Structure 1
Amino acid sequence: MKRLKRDPMDRAFMRGYQHGVHGKSRDLCPFTHPSTRQAWLNGWREGRSDNWDGFTGTAGIHRLNELHAVG
């Protein structure tokens, strides 16, 4: 059975979110393509916001699943 690749924008968002929720700098963005970079930064902003609101650990995992289901 073939596996479908996830949308690159979705993957970039999730990676950015994980960086943000762990308090890492946005300067660590690995992408150079403008749209992919923007998706990563959007995820990073969501992650930083959740980090400030206390969504870390198990709560952060549940929040990430909610974001993934909506997106």
Structure 2
Amino acid sequence: MRRLKRDPLERAFVRGYQFGLHGKSRDLCPFTLPSVRQAWLNGWREGRGDQWDGLTGTAGIHRLNQINAVG
């Protein structure tokens, strides 16, 4: 049985979220395709917002599970 691959935009969003949550720069975005890059940046913004709200470490575990469960 073959596993279905996840949507590339969703994967980019989650990767961007993780970068933002860890306080990394948005200049580190590895994507050049505009739609995928936009999804990554949206995730990055969401992650930065959660970092600023203090949702890092054990306080943000429930949020990270919600982000990873999308789709």
TM-score, with normalisation over the residues of structure 1?
0.91
| Aligned positions, number | 71
Q: What is the match of residue 39 of structure 1?
A: 39
SS at match of 1:15: helix
Q: Report deviation, 1:62.
A: 1.4
SS at match of 2:56: coil
Larger deviation, residues 56-65 vs 26-35: 56-65
Distance in 1, Cα, partners of 2:59 & 2:5: 27
Gaps of 5+ in 2: none
Say whether residues 1:23 and 2:23 are aligned partners. Answer: yes
Q: Report deviation, 1:5.
A: 0.3
Q: What is the match of residue 64 of structure 1?
A: 64
TM-score, with normalisation over the residues of structure 2?
0.91
Gaps of 5+ in 1: none
Say whether residues 1:55 and 2:55 are aligned partners. Answer: yes
Alpha-carbon RMSD across the aligned residues, in angstroms, is: 1.3
SS at match of 2:39: helix
Contact 1:21 1:60 in 2 (8 A): no
